[in-house]
Amino acid sequence: MTHERLNRTNNKIVQLAVCANPSHLEAVDPIVQGKTRAEQFYRGDTKGRQVMSILLHGDAAFAGQGVVYETFHLSDLPHYTTHGTIHVVVNNQVGFTTDPRMSRSSPYCTDVAKVVQCPIFHVNADDPEAVMHVCKVASEYRAEFGKDVVIDLVCYRKNGHNEGDNPDFTQPLMYQRIRKQKPVMEKYAAKVIADGIVTDAEYQEERSKYDKILDESFENAKKRPEMKIADWLDSKWGGFFKKHDLLGELKSTGASMDRLIDLGNKFSTPPANFNLHNGLKRVLKARKEMIDEGVADWAIGEALAFASLLTEKIHVRISGQDVERGTFSHRHHVLHDQKVDQKYHSVMNHMSDDQAQYSVCNSSLSEYAVLGFELGYSMTNPYSLVVWEAQFGDFMNTAQCIIDQFVGSGQDKWVRQSGLVMLLPHGMEGMGPEHSSARPERFLQMTKEDPDTYPVSTI
């Protein structure tokens, strides 16, 4: 969902995009980061000057949900950084009904952010000017240093968790004090009137204008019985399905044999002036022999598929643990010089002079956040190939929340399309009960129950 507004200081349009998120707290964090990274990539925004992310958190979830920690650890990695995120924690000092002393072991709910040494500002939410000052400093810090920054907005929850709950059951003394508090607007209005900045009449006039805006918006909302699908389409996915008959006859997307042989030869040729490992010399030689014989294993088939897309100017990104080499030492898309530190050769970025960029991204040792990141990345442009590879298919279960709440149901819930591909190594004989099954039955259970899409006779 997007909203555009004119920035009157520079007369430029600012676009705000909101990522749909489920009730699973903090699950959307890596998705926002992935989408931000993709928006930066397609704009050539290598320093995060044109696109940035803002994440809103609750205090209990920020301290309690592990995906927060996983997402922070992506913040400064070369293939995952968005050059700084502003985190705003709405710290109402209670998690549903649980006191902070029962929901975290750290003094502050924001202490998890210390793992990346980012500044943390604790500010009284009842002081609007202090809040504005902190927000300004946070944005300036992010712009200057390209790093994350956290705002701990210390406040209180006026009513129960959903405004219907009775908070006195669990926080009786807290709510006795909260009921004595004047609303922030009343306190601030009294201050600016006392300071002679506005008169009481001017304050009442502005408040009446804003109340009228809210009332009119509420009445207009009641006149819209259905959600507009277009509201959620904030990228090139907008007209994608109108151009493609997904259930019709599949079009041929193959490549000629001559072209595949040419790409295969480039893929299996050692780089010049490079100290290649002897074992990899044998690997490349074997690949060249297979190309000459007209046969292919998984590694060659994958490389030819990627290379053919890249030379058609389609961006390819593969991400996950050890994807440069491949879990089974089968890929080797990044070659490392054996004598010069940090000298490497990205094989797939040398297929042609005008090809699209190939991004092969060794990730942190995380499934949940990294899968979420790649899902967010894939949402931006349907004309790309975005791949998340699990080290073993079994390990996808630690990212099950992303699969259930976004991959499997995102389109039905939010009309949110994604072109993400998940590579899940499956059926590894003799590898043991935790390295042999990608649980394909789970994915079949999540498919649409539409016999026109998945005929019963074929399942």
pLDDT of 294-322, one tens digit each?
999 999 999 999 999 999 999 999 999 99
Q: What pLDDT sits at residue 450?
A: 67
Residues 6+ apart with CB under 8 A from 361: 79, 80, 317, 318, 319, 320, 323
Q: Is the pLDDT of residue 336 over 80?
A: yes
Q: What pLDDT sits at residue 85?
A: 99
Where does 257-446 sit in CATH, by number? 3.40.50.12470
Look at the chain and count its residues: 459
Residues 6+ apart with CB under 8 A from 310: 316, 348, 349, 351, 352, 355, 356, 357, 358
Q: What pLDDT sits at residue 238?
A: 64
Average pLDDT over residues 282-304: 95
Average pLDDT over residues 16-32: 94
Higher pLDDT, 441 or 127: 127
Burial of 251 from C-beta contacts in 10 A (0-12 / 13-18 / 19+): exposed
Residues 6+ apart with CB under 8 A from 170: 97, 98, 99
Tell me: the pLDDT tens digits for 157-214? 999 988 788 999 999 999 999 999 999 999 999 999 999 999 999 999 999 999 999 9
Q: Does residue 336 sit in helix, strand or coil?
A: strand
Residues 6+ apart with CB under 8 A from 214: none
Residues of the chain with CATH 3.40.50.12470: 257-446
Higher pLDDT, 445 or 265: 265
State the fold for domain 16-218.
Rossmann fold (3.40.50)
Instruction: Take residue 198 and report the two structure tokens written for it.
Output: 């506005």
Distance CA 368, CA 371 (A): 6
Higher pLDDT, 275 or 443: 275
CB 149 within 8 A of CB 119: yes
Could you tell me the maximum CA-CA distance found in the chain, to the nearest angstrom? Answer: 88
Where is average pLDDT lowest: 127-136, 143-152, 375-384?
A: 375-384
- The amino acid that residue 23 corresponds to is S
Instruction: Take residue 173 and report the two structure tokens written for it.
Output: 């003394």
Distance CA 65, CA 11 (A): 40
Average pLDDT over residues 438-457: 74
Candidates 255, 391, 374; CA nearest to 331 is 391
In terms of DSSP bridges, do strands 85-91 and 120-124 run parallel, antiparallel, or are they unpaired?
Answer: unpaired
Distance CA 104, CA 100 (A): 6
CB 306 within 8 A of CB 375: no
Q: How confident is the model at residue 225 (pLDDT cuts 50, 70, 90)?
A: confident
Q: What pLDDT sits at residue 234?
A: 62
Of the spans 32-36, 240-244, 251-255, which averages the highest pLDDT?
32-36
Residues of the chain with CATH 3.40.50.970: 16-218
Burial of 58 from C-beta contacts in 10 A (0-12 / 13-18 / 19+): buried
Q: What pLDDT sits at residue 378?
A: 95
Q: How confident is the model at residue 341 (pLDDT cuts 50, 70, 90)?
A: very high
∠ Cα 63 65 67 (to 5°): 120
Percent of the chain, pLDDT > 70? Answer: 93
Distance CA 68, CA 144 (A): 24
Q: What pLDDT sits at residue 445?
A: 85
40-48 contacts: CB < 8 A, separation 24 or more?
Answer: 40/82, 40/83, 41/315, 42/380, 42/381, 47/83, 47/146, 48/81, 48/82, 48/83, 48/84, 48/146
CB 302 within 8 A of CB 267: no
Distance CA 139, CA 133 (A): 10
Mean pLDDT of the chain: 92
In terms of DSSP bridges, do strands 12-17 and 2-7 run parallel, antiparallel, or are they unpaired?
Answer: antiparallel
Tell me: the pLDDT tens digits for 413-434? 887 888 899 999 998 777 788 8
Measured distance between the N- and C-terminal CA atoms of the chain, rounded to whole angstroms: 36
Q: Mutual orientation of helices 278-293 and 298-310 as an angle, nearest 10°?
A: 80
CB 360 within 8 A of CB 333: yes
Q: What pLDDT sits at residue 51?
A: 97
Where is average pLDDT lowest: 34-38, 120-124, 368-372, 455-459?
A: 455-459
Q: Is the pLDDT of residue 448 over 90?
A: no
Q: Is the pLDDT of residue 231 over 90?
A: no
CB 243 within 8 A of CB 237: no
pTM exceeds 0.75: yes
Distance CA 435, CA 441 (A): 16
Average pLDDT over residues 219-246: 73
Candidates 109, 1, 99; CA nearest to 65 is 109
Instruction: Take residue 41 and report the two structure tokens written for it.
Output: 């990539």
Tell me: the pLDDT tens digits for 5-16? 888 888 889 988
Query: What does the radius of gyration of the chain's CA atoms come to, in whole angstroms?
Result: 26
Q: Is the pLDDT of residue 458 over 60?
A: no
- The amino acid that residue 453 corresponds to is T
Q: Is the pLDDT of residue 233 over 70?
A: no
Percent of the chain, pLDDT > 90? Answer: 76
Q: Does residue 322 sit in helix, strand or coil?
A: coil
CB 310 within 8 A of CB 303: no
Higher pLDDT, 325 or 238: 325
